[in-house]
Structure 1
Amino acid sequence: MRVSIDDVAARAQVSTATVSRALRGLPKVNPATRARVFAVAEEMGYVPSPSARRLATGRTKTVGVLVPFIDRWYFANALEGIDQELREHGYNLLLFSLGGYMHGQQRRFTEQMVRKQIDALVVLCLGLSATELAELQRINIPIIAVGGPVGGCRGVHVDDAAAAAAATQHLIDLGHKKIGHLRGGINDEKNFVVPSLRAEAFEATMRRAGLELRPEWSVAGDFTVGQGAAAAATLFTQSGERPTAIFCGSDEMAIGLMFEARRRGIRIPQDLSLIGIDDHDFSAPAGLSTVAQKPLQHGLLAAQVLLAELDGLTIPRHEDPMPFKLIQRESTAPPTPPA
């Protein structure tokens, strides 16, 4: 039979309020009484119920994570980092999955979904509308964004524009002048800003180098392997002349492009150099050059910031972008001279 707080109070010969105060470490409890309560609670195997703890502290010991997908590499790794840090501190993770970006449909994420369920919220790579953000701010919980900037929220993410510029400049420095682009798709761009940040940085870097932007060499791939392969097929078939190098807005699209190139007998890097962003788990085995980021570390830091705020600690606002690193592997090389 489950031991109740009333059972502990009766055995320790104190009130239930005293038991509650003693076990919560609150003041105005005699040290000897506190010690007796702890001894009795341990002897009887008393475990406070989650609802009792919530009523006593006003805390749910739960942090929510709002995520558009759970099957993408970045999201999965960031979730792991968040969960590791929360479990280390006795917190639970409550996942709010939108099941994709809804492709323009109205989302069902409101204040009522999170009220009294969570103590704080992490927003993964998703732009909140002004209405959604206002609703969340009304419940006065800490909110932080991970993976890309979200208006009105603190954020933990790389400088996506700088990362894309570094990838593009790497191809230019190798001597490539005919450079294509596999970018994030229209549905991605409607819902978060990372694809457009990377695309705009690619175009700006090309213009600074005085290089031509060929519209037929810019195709959307929606940040997935399958769509990357499909976009590559479009790029390879709709243009008589092929670029000598391609910047992909994500490693997953780049890996898809590698599959399609192999099917068509296009050699990498002899016929086509290729670079992505992320350092996906498959990037090193595939020999893919990339701009590496560490989503697990992003998740860890975001959870640390929220937990510190929940503990009432004064912490500096985290505004500096997370670090990234350009890694050259076998997929990039100088262009092959014409025969």
Structure 2
Amino acid sequence: MGIQEIAQATGLSKATVSRALRGLPTVAGSTVDQVRRVADELGYVPSSAAAGLATGRQRAVGVVLPVIDRWFTAKALGGVDAELRAAGYDLVLYNLGGPGGDRHRAFRRAMLRQRVDALVLLSLVLDETERRELQVSELPTVVIGGPAHDLRNVGVDDHEVAALAVAHLTGLGHREVAYVGGEDEAGFTVAVPYLRRDGFTEAMARAGAPVRADRYADGRFSFAGGVAAGAVLLEVPAPDRPTAVVCASDEMALGVVVAAHRLGLEVPRDVSVTGVDGHEYGEVLGLTTVAQDPEAQGRVAARTVVLEAQGASPGPLPPSAARLVVRRTTAGPCR
């Protein structure tokens, strides 16, 4: 598929199609949009893509994310942007808008049309077609926030962050510990929730405190989901009520704290609560958490793909740092 086929489909000359595909200012915006739409429909891949990547002539990195209005996403995006600006590169943002969003726009127009030199993906689940298009594009690619198939990942060890929370609580004497996790509704990677759940379960087993099936609740990785999950877990009267709850995100943990207060329970006297992330709201409200730094992760990802777009060889990426931050929402059990 080439420029001739696009020219025939649009009724334009090959020269006009060529100028439109390059986005030259001498072509009307409506014509550029028409040509690019037809090129997308026909699956056009410019023959100069490999040469453009080798020379780095675009000096732009595409960032594809499922939604833009989440704490982790905003922080990581800020880190990517800061690093790209320092390197003299532009950031081309593709917000998929959650489930059912326009993924075609990102995975065909960004990669196969050679608008960018590299890609950073934020916590995405890729289907077979998208993985194939990534391979065809041969663009340097790094994922932030959870593994995605065989792509390199910048992020914390999700088993380890859950284990840190468990070690803190069991060290305080807790044995009846519940877990709030679940798959995110916004289209984020499914790997992170399951890895953190597995890390929690395995750490509890190592501590000699296996977890009952009814101690797992779905918090949908949101504040509202945490409130709902906390209500289910904590409405059980003592002594069957858990003495502590590990949440796979700070937003869910803050929701569990709200649920506890609504039930007349005091945190941490009646129930201890921990989260994961390092959200600034958690700091204000005294939430114990396993903190990570998504802004630093964004910087690492951007730096990595820029260097590779300039010719550096791909290399392994070690796990990002995570640390336990003890605040007011955890204490030893009172029963």
Shorter-chain TM band: 0.7 to 0.9
What's 1:149 paired with? 147
Aligned counterpart, 2:127: 129
Please report the TM-score for the alignment, with normalisation by the length of structure 1: 0.77
Deviation at 1:55, TM superposition (A): 12
CA RMSD of aligned residues (A): 2.4
Residue 81, structure 1, aligned to residue 79, structure 2: yes
Contact 1:216 1:239 in 2 (8 A): no
Q: Could you tell me which residue of structure 2 aligns to residue 245 of structure 1?
A: 244
Q: Quick one: distance in 2 between partners of 1:87 and 1:280?
A: 25
Give per-residue Cα distances to partners, 1:206-258, cap 9 Å, x unaligned.
Answer: 12222131222211111111111111112223677210000000011001111
Deviation at 1:101, TM superposition (A): 3.6
Find the residue that maps to 1:63 and give its secondary structure: strand
Q: 1:299 to 1:218 in 2, by over 3 A?
A: same
Structure 1's 268 and 141: CA in aligned 2 closer, same or farther, altered over 3 A? same
Q: 1:288 matched to which residue of 2?
A: 287
2:256 matched to 1:257? Answer: yes
In structure 2, the CA distance between the partners of 1:58 and 1:336, relative to structure 1 (3 Å rule), is closer
Q: Deviations over 1:251-275 (max 9, x none)?
A: 1100111112122221011000111
Question: Which of 61, 67, 70 matches 1:69?
Answer: 67
Q: Measure, in 1, the Cα distance between the counterparts of 2:312 and 2:279.
A: 35
Distance 1:56 1:127 in 2: 28
Give the letter for the 1:285 counterpart: V
Contact 2:66 2:188 in 1 (8 A): no
Query: What residue number does 1:335 align with?
Result: 333
Indicate whether 1:319 and 2:317 are aligned.
yes
Q: What amino acid is aligned across from residue 81 of structure 1 in structure 2?
A: G
The amino acid of 1:275's aligned partner reads T
- Max Rg structure: 1
Among 202, 205, 218, the residue aligned to 1:204: 202
The residue identity in structure 1 corresponding to 2:247 is C
For the Cα contact (< 8 Å) 2:169–2:244, is it kept in 1?
A: yes
Relative to structure 1, the CA distance from residue 222 to residue 76 in structure 2 (aligned partners, 3 Å threshold; closer, same or farther) is same
Indicate conservation of the 8 Å contact 1:189/1:196, yes or no. Answer: no
Q: Is the 1:101–1:191 contact (alpha carbons within 8 Å) kept by the matching residues of 2? A: no
Cα distance in 2, alignment partners of residues 56 and 272 from structure 1 = 57
Can you list the C-alpha shifts for 1:7-47, whole angstroms capped at 9, x where unaligned? Answer: xxxxxxxxxxxxxxxxxxxxxxxxxxxxxxxxxxxxxxxxx
What CA distance in whole angstroms lies between the structure 1 residues aligned with 2:229 and 2:187?
A: 16
Return closer, same or farther for 1:179/1:250 CA change in 2, 3 Å cut-off.
same
Secondary structure (helix, strand or coil) at the match of 1:134 reads helix
Structure 2 CA distance for partners of 1:123 and 1:245, relative to 1, 3 Å? same
Q: How many angstroms does 1:129 deviate by?
A: 2.4
Distance in 1, matches of 2:54 and 2:127, equals 34
Per the alignment, in what secondary structure is the counterpart of residue 71 of structure 1? coil
Shift of 1:96: 1.4
Q: Give the distance between the partners of 2:200 and 2:223, measured in 1 at CA.
A: 20
Per-residue CA deviations over 1:58-100 (Å, capped at 9, x if unaligned) read: 6222211111121111111000000011111221111112212
Q: How many residues align?
A: 281
CA contact (8 A) 1:133 1:152 kept: no
% identical equivalent positions: 41
Instruction: State the one-letter code of the partner of 1:244.
Output: T
CA distance in 2, matches of 1:77, 1:160: 18
Residue pair 2:54, 2:309 contacting (<8 A) in 1 also: no
Is 1:111 aligned to 2:113, yes or no?
no
Q: Which runs of 5+ in 2 are unaligned?
A: 1-51
Counterpart of 1:47 in structure 2 is none
For residue 278 of structure 1, what is the amino acid of its counterpart? D
* Residue 172 (structure 1) aligned to one of 159, 170, 173: 170
**What is the one-letter code of the residue matched to 2:107?**
T
User: 2:188 & 2:92 partners in 1: Cα distance?
Assistant: 25
Partner of 2:224: 226
